[in-house]
Structure 1
Amino acid sequence: MNGARGLAGRLAEHVAGLLFPPQCAGCGREVSNPGTVCGRCWSRLRFIERPYCAVMGTPFAHDLGENFLSAEAIADPPPFQRARAAVGHDGIPRRMIVGLKYHDQTNLAPWMAQWMLRAGGELIADCDVILPVPLHAFRFWSRRFNQAAELARAVAALADKPFEPEALKRVKRTRQQVGLAATERQRNVSGAFRVPNDQEIKIRGRSILLVDDVYTTGATVKAATRALLRAHAASVDVLTFSRVLPEI
């Protein structure tokens, strides 16, 4: 019986592949596997590789030595320990995030998570638990899912790490961050996050990996990190799929 079900499942996948062939996540060309990008789009991706700031993960144009810090990390040290991202945000990664976030393309999350796993290997190895940046309940209701949670769930599954989507709550209904200046972003998310009392046991004394889709100014993940530290997290690292990069 199980063999018959397996055969039926494979047949259904084959038929679906014929009727709806997978398309490149960047340009829509037909590709061999869903969630992948074609060769032309792959060549246009800007993967974030070393050398980069040991804290912020911002890439350097030249190798300045191990553990060298960016001006941002020195002038305005973040509450989290380290931040890493898989790719620069412009172009194809931006379109992938828009597809995941606004067009219900949740099938992209497992593929995006594979890139994040490569970028954040050291952070994932060090963490005890993986959390997404949460949505406010109203926005979750209107969107029906949290794109950060989809990415965090996929990363946790690939890394075989605990996933705790309820451990951090967004208690303040904030404006969309898109289009806001850096100082406006900070005010917008100030006090927006809290660890519920019954969830603190999942946070206290543990190393947390906080996952979001894109790192822009860092205002959101910094506010979320402060809430986790108030709940006595041992440390917080941040992993995102993409990052808005300065010109280098």
Structure 2
Amino acid sequence: MRLQAALHLLYPPQCLLCDTLVTSDFGLCGPCWRDTPFIAGLVCDLCGTPLPGEDPGHPIHCDDCLTLTRPWDHGRAAMLYKDNGRKIVLALKHGDRLDLARPAAGWMLKTLHPILTPDTLAVPVPLHWLRLLTRRYNQSALLARELARQAGIDHCPDALVRPRNTHTQDGRSREGRFDNMTGAILPHPSRGQRMRGRHVLLVDDVLTSGATLAAATEACLTAGAIGVSVAVLARVAKDV
């Protein structure tokens, strides 16, 4: 504690997004917090999109999830992918801001308490080895590891593999995204067995169409998972 106090004197905590001084590590200043589109209130039970109205006391789904068949059971997102939400995701994904994984996992965990079970196994969406070689880390694996640590649940970083390089999904139509991901994610030949008989929490940074998470969910179910939920840092969604 004394060492931490001394470090704070030498290096006062700063906002994660700007240079403003804050009262604790891994925090946002007031203005940055207000400009970060955290999701609260009524949400779609399958993707975490915020919905208008009051909680009806039973699961409710957004238009996308009423149209598409989601292979997972529940889904939550910490924020919308816009404004500071987009900045945080891109900084973690492409800006070497590995320090963001800790607070991001905490924000995600706050949305997950209703759907976590003690036997849940946290599993990240995998990267193809060429993408991992270029980026040097898998941001989803960082989030999954930190989320599992904070939640006190098991974690398997390599339960899934991505044997085919699907390249970027940017610019593809919804149908193109799903076609591109068909068969692209599989259970690890040996580590995948850890999912058998377990509830799996799939972790990724962003949910757009859901094509990647659908492919990963199918791989988990193929490996014997008895249920799959998804957790993402940000959800691409229309304002409500």
Decide: shared fold, TM above 0.5. Answer: yes
CA distance in 2, matches of 1:235, 1:37: 35
* Shift in Å, 1:99: 1.2
CA distance in 1, matches of 2:84, 2:91: 10
CA distance in 1, matches of 2:239, 2:133: 37
In structure 2, relative to structure 1, the CA distance for the partners of 1:217 and 1:205 (3 Å cut) is same
Partner of 1:39: 30
What are the Cα deviations for residues 41-60 of structure 1, in whole angstroms up to 9, with x where unaligned?
A: 11122222231222332221
2:206 counterpart (209, 214, 218):
214
Whether the 8 Å CA contact 2:48–2:235 is kept in 1: the answer is no
1:55 counterpart (30, 33, 46):
46
In structure 2, relative to structure 1, the CA distance for the partners of 1:13 and 1:172 (3 Å cut) is farther
Partner of 2:7: 14
1:174 aligns with 2:174: no
Q: Residue 236 of structure 1: SS of its match in structure 2?
A: strand
Which protein has the bigger helix share?
Answer: 1
Alignment of structure 1 residues 218-229 onto 2, 5 Å? 218-229=210-221
Whether the 8 Å CA contact 1:126–1:207 is kept in 2: the answer is no
Q: Residue 125 of structure 1: SS of its match in structure 2?
A: coil
Whether the 8 Å CA contact 2:37–2:83 is kept in 1: the answer is no
Given residue 72 of structure 1, which amino acid in structure 2 is its aligned partner? D
Q: Residue 92 of structure 2: SS of its match in structure 1?
A: helix
CA distance in 2, matches of 1:13, 1:156: 30
Q: Residue 122 of structure 1: SS of its match in structure 2?
A: coil
CA distance in 1, matches of 2:119, 2:181: 25
* Shift in Å, 1:34: 3.9
Whether the 8 Å CA contact 1:127–1:209 is kept in 2: the answer is no
Alignment of structure 1 residues 198-213 onto 2, 5 Å? 198-213=190-205
In structure 2, relative to structure 1, the CA distance for the partners of 1:202 and 1:82 (3 Å cut) is same
Choose 56-65 or 191-200, whichever is displaced more: 56-65
CA distance in 2, matches of 1:208, 1:168: 12
Whether the 8 Å CA contact 2:47–2:77 is kept in 1: the answer is no
1:145 counterpart (137, 147, 158):
137
Q: Residue 114 of structure 1: SS of its match in structure 2?
A: helix
Q: Residue 155 of structure 1: SS of its match in structure 2?
A: helix
Partner of 2:187: 195
Q: How high is the TM-score relative to the length of structure 1?
A: 0.88
2:117 counterpart (113, 125, 129):
125
* Shift in Å, 1:126: 5.6
* Shift in Å, 1:97: 1.3
Aligned length: 239
Whether the 8 Å CA contact 1:208–1:237 is kept in 2: the answer is yes
Q: Which ranges in structure 1 are unaligned for 5 or more consecutive residues?
A: 1-5
* Shift in Å, 1:229: 1.1
Q: Residue 138 of structure 1: SS of its match in structure 2?
A: helix
Alignment of structure 1 residues 88-167 onto 2, 5 Å? 88-125=80-117, 127-167=119-159
Given residue 171 of structure 1, which amino acid in structure 2 is its aligned partner? P
What are the Cα deviations for residues 170-205 of structure 1, in whole angstroms up to 9, with x where unaligned?
A: 111111123332222212222110112312320111
Q: How high is the TM-score relative to the length of structure 2?
A: 0.91
CA distance in 2, matches of 1:177, 1:28: 33
* Shift in Å, 1:209: 0.2
CA distance in 2, matches of 1:115, 1:194: 28
CA distance in 2, matches of 1:197, 1:84: 29
Q: Percent identity?
A: 35
Partner of 2:61: 69
Choose 119-128 or 76-85, whichever is displaced more: 119-128
